[in-house]
Amino acid sequence: MSDHRTTPGTDQAPDLSAVENTVAPSSDTVRVERAASESAGTSRVAGLMGGAFGRNIGLVLALLVICVVGVATAGDRFASVDNMVTILRLASIFGVVSIGMTFVIIGGGIDLSVGAIVALSSVWATTFATQTMAEDTHWIVMVFVALAVGGACGLVNGVLIAYGNVVPFIMTLAMLASARGLAEIISERRTQIVRVEGFKDFWSADVVGVPLLVVIFALVALGGWVLLNRTTFGRRTLAVGGSPEAARLAGINVKRHTALLYVLVGLCCGLAALMFLARTSTGSSTHGSLLELDAIAAVVIGGTLLTGGRGTIAGTVIGVLVFSTLSNVFVLNNQDSSTQAVAKGLIIVVAVLFQQRLARRSTST
C-alpha cells in the first residue's frame, strides 16, 4: 500500500495529454500499433478453439460415446451414410427451434410455447383457405402464413413480457396453452393433408444429395452463429441477458430488444412448422408436442446459462445432435421410448454437472 500513498504537492498525475487526445479524436488519428492487433488476432484463434472444443469438450465426448455404443450395438445399420442423414433429418426441426431458443435464453428469457406455436403455424398454413389460395397463386403463400403466424405469436409473447412485465415463464406458458388450443379449434382436431403439389415438390427435394430440411438446419445454425457473434443484435443480446440494468444504463433499448428475441424464436417456430409439413405432409395440432422441453434441454446441455448472458450456437448444435443420435441408437436397438427418456434425463444432469465444474475452473484461473 505504501507505494500508492501520495502526498500533496508531488506531481503524480498521469499523462493527461494522452487522455486529451482521445477525448476529441478526429476520425483518422493514431493508427494502432501492429502489436495490439496481432495479439488480438492470436487470441481470437485461441478463443475459437476454446469456444468450440474447450467449452463443449464434455458434450463432444458424450456424442462420441453414443456413437461408439451405436456402432457396437447396431454395427453398419448405425454407421451408414443413410443413417447419418436420418439422424440429421431427425435433428433438423428440433434444431431450428433450439437455435431460436438459444437467443431467448442468452437474452435472459425462456420460451415454453415453441411447440404450440409450431402446431398453430402448421395448422394455419394448411387450412382449406390457405391451401386454396396457394393453389391459385403460389405455394409460397403457405410459407408466408406459417412465418407470419409464428412471428405474430412471438410478438405477442415479446410485447407482453417486455412492456407488460409478465414473467416469461408465465407468459409463454399461457401462449403454450392458448396456441395449441387455437390450433385444435382451427383444425377441429383433424389432421390436414398438404395437397399443394408445388410445396411438396420443393420441400422434399434434395440439395446435392442432402435433404432440404438438413440444409435449412445448417443455414439457420450458420445464420444464428453470425447473428450472435458478428452483429450488434448478438452483442446486445449478450448484454441484455448478462445484466439488464447495466445494458439499460449503457443506453440499450432493453424492452425492444427483449421483444425482438421472442419474435425471432417465433419465426424459427414458423420455419419449423413448414419443415413439419414437408416431413409429414400434414398440418396438425399435435405437431411439436413437448418440443419446448427438448429445445431447452439441448440449449442447456450446450452450455448456455439459463440465467442468461452466456451461450454458444455451436454448443446448442452439438446438444441437438446428442439427443437425436441417442434416439436413433435406441430406435435401432428396438428399445422403447421410456428407456430413451431415462437416458436423456441422465445425460442432461451429467452434462450440466460437468459443465459447472468446467466453468468454475475457467473462472478461477
Partner 1 sequence: MSQPTAAPLLEMRGIVKRFPGVLALGGVDLDVRPGEVHCLLGQNGAGKSTLIKVLSASYQPDEGEILWEGQPVALPTPQSAMKLGISTIYQELDLVPGLSVAENIFLGHELSSAGMSQRGRTNRAAADLLGRLGHSELSPTRAVGRLAPAAQQIVSMARALSQDTRLLVLDEPSAALDQGEVDNLFRVIRDLTAEGVAVVYISHRLEEIRQIGDRITVLKDGSTVASGLAVADTPTADLIKLMTGRSIEYVFPARGDTVTTSGEPVLDVSGLELAGVFSGVDLKVHAGEIVGLAGLVGAGRSEILETVYGARRPSAGTVRVNGRELRRGSVPAAVKAGLGLAPEERKSQGLLLDQAIYSNITISTLGRFARLGFLDRGDERRRATEVTQSLDVRPAGVDRLVRLLSGGNQQKVVLARWLLRECRVLLLDEPTRGVDVGARSEIYAVVRALADSGVAVVVVSSEVEEVLGLADRVLVVREGRVVHEGPAQEIDESRVLDLVMEGSAA
Out of 236, 271, 292, 327, the only residue in the binding site for partner 1 (CB under 8 A) is 236
Identified binder of partner 1 from the candidate list 60, 148, 218, 252, rule CB under 8 A: 252
- What would the x/- binding string for partner 1 be over residues 260 to 299, using CB under 8 A? ----------------------------------------
How many Å apart are CA 172 and CA 154, to the nearest integer? 9
Applying CB under 8 A, does 82 fall inside the site for partner 1? no
Could you tell me the CA-to-CA distances from 202 to 127, 141, 206, 218, 246 in Å, in that order?
Answer: 19, 13, 9, 18, 47
Q: Is 364 in the site for partner 1 (CB under 8 A)?
A: no
Tell me which stretch binds partner 1 (CB under 8 A): 1-9, 52-60, 109-117, 341-349.
Answer: 1-9
Q: Which of 151, 356, 183 is nearest to 264 (CA)?
A: 151
Q: Are 69 and 330 in contact (CB under 8 A)?
A: no
**Which amino acid is located at 33 in the chain?**
E
CA distance 199 to 196: 6
Could you tell me how far CA 242 lies from the centroid of its own chain?
Answer: 17
243 interacts with partner 1 by CB under 8 A:
yes
Tally of CB atoms within 10 A around 201: 10
- Number of residues lying near partner 1 (CB under 8 A): 52
Euclidean distance between CA atoms 297 and 109, whole angstroms: 14
Q: Name residues contacting partner 1, limited to 2-61 (CB under 8 A).
A: 3-8, 10-14, 16, 18-25, 30, 32, 36-37, 39-40, 43, 47
Distance between CA atoms of residues 147 and 156, nearest Å: 14
Q: Torsion angle of alpha carbons 117, 119, 124, 127, nearest 10°?
A: 180
Task: State the binding string over 293-322 for partner 1 (x if CB under 8 A, else -).
Answer: ----------------xx------------
245 forms part of the interface with partner 1 (CB under 8 A): yes
Query: Which CB sits closer to partner 1, 40 or 207?
Result: 40
Q: What cell does 184 get? A: 385444435
Whole-angstrom distance, CA of residue 280 vs CA of residue 196: 14
Please report whether residue 168 would count as binding partner 1 according to CB under 8 A. Answer: no
Closer of 62 and 220 to partner 1 (Cβ)? 220
Out of 68, 177, 205, 250, the residue judged to bind partner 1 by CB under 8 A: 250
Q: Would you tell me which residues interact with partner 1 (CB under 8 A)?
A: 1, 3-8, 10-14, 16, 18-25, 30, 32, 36-37, 39-40, 43, 47, 226, 230-233, 235-236, 238-239, 242-243, 245-253, 309-310, 363
